[in-house]
């Protein structure tokens, strides 16, 4: 399936606190100008059975209350908003996911579905960076197999629950782990244009342009915003992060909505 467009996305951290991390959601925030929220972050953790399980970040005890508050607040303002949980980076996640796959336990895809159902979310995102480094190691062939298994698990859950569950990825550094084999399993690819990944990299693989988004980072004093020619024909634009953009009075969140045409006019 394709991700809903016009697309005006944002990441929303639920770890720590402060203008560049978690801020309490309120109904005065511009959720009506946001089509999709990617919640940062969940992580993979090893289980006693030898598998791996997706959980909200360990060491962040407020996340289990922050996430429901975010979803309820955002949906009250914008009932059509999509909310996905994002698998974070830098905590050896892919070591555990790789072990889960190669051991034959294969519990990780089911845990993705379980967490999505537990928090009544709309899908799963992968923050695709530092794999082979601080995010852990997995071979490309095993990565592709895991991606296929997650897609199949989401499809089965979608059929049973009678609602779509979206699967997205957000690469940094070219295509990162996205390749011509696994790209068909993603409904949307968020290019971290602030992290060396660009839509042209993904188009070069043959991925549909209208399922790729341009990404901006709103943490700098003056974010690098794309020209119209950069995002024309793409699914839309997303920003990292809504909380960082609060320091700009949501200037860039509102600009994204205006430029991509969200919400669409009646």
pLDDT tens digit string along 152-161?
A: 999 999 999 9
Mean pLDDT within 8-25: 92
- Average pLDDT of the residues of the chain: 97
Which pLDDT does position 251 carry in this prediction? Answer: 98
Mean pLDDT of 236-253: 97
Q: How confident is the model at residue 19 (pLDDT cuts 50, 70, 90)?
A: confident
Binned at pLDDT 50, 70 and 90, residue 266 comes out as low
The whole domain housing 100 covers 7-260
Asked if the structure places residue 12 within a domain, the reply is yes
Question: What pLDDT, on a 0 to 100 scale, did the predictor assign at position 218?
Answer: 97
Residue 1 is assigned to a structural domain of this protein:
no
Q: Report if residue 266 sits inside a domain.
A: no
Query: Residue 202 — very low, low, confident or very high, per pLDDT cuts 50/70/90?
Result: very high
Residue 40 belongs to some domain of the structure? yes
**For 13-37, b where at least 16 C-beta lie within 10 A, e where not — what string?**
bbbeeeebebbebeeebbbbbbbbb
CATH number of domain containing 23: 3.20.20.80
Q: How far apart are CA 123 and CA 15, in angstroms?
A: 19
Instruction: Tally the domains of the chain.
Output: 1
- 18, pLDDT greater than 80: no
Q: What is the pLDDT of residue 1?
A: 78
Residue 2 lies in a domain: no
Q: What is the pTM of this model?
A: 0.98
CA-angle at 82, arms to 20 and 73, nearest 5°: 60
- pLDDT of 20 reads 79
Per the domain annotation, does 265 fall within a domain?
no
pLDDT digits (tens, 9 = 90+) for 48-58: 989 999 999 99
Of 13-22, 66-75, 95-104, 218-227, least confident by mean pLDDT is 13-22
């Amino acid at each position: 399936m394709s991700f809903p467009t016009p697309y005006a996305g944002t990441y929303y951290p639920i770890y720590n606190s402060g203008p560049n991390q978690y801020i309490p959601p309120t109904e005065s925030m511009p959720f009506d100008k946001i089509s999709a929220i990617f919640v940062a972050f969940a992580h993979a953790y090893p289980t006693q059975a030898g598998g791996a399980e997706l959980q909200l970040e360990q060491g962040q005890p407020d996340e289990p209350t922050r996430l429901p508050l975010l979803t309820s607040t955002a949906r009250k303002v914008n009932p059509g908003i999509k909310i996905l949980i994002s698998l974070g980076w830098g905590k050896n996640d892919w070591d555990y996911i790789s072990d889960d796959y190669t051991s034959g336990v294969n519990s990780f895809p089911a845990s993705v579905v379980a967490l999505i159902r537990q928090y009544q979310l709309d899908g799963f995102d992968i923050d695709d960076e530092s794999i082979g480094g601080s995010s852990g190691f997995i071979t490309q062939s095993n990565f592709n197999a895991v991606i296929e298994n997650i897609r199949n698990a989401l499809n089965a859950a979608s059929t049973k629950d009678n609602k779509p569950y979206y699967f997205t990825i957000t690469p940094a550094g070219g295509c990162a782990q996205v390749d011509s084999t696994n790209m068909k399993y993603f409904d949307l690819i968020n290019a971290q244009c602030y992290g060396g990944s660009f839509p042209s990299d993904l188009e070069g693989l043959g991925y549909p342009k209208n399922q790729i988004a341009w990404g901006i980072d709103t943490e700098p004093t003056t974010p690098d915003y794309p020209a119209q020619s950069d995002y024309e024909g793409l699914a839309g634009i997303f920003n990292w992060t809504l909380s960082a953009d609060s320091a700009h009075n949501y200037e860039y969140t509102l600009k994204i909505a205006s430029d991509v045409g969200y919400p669409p006019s009646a």
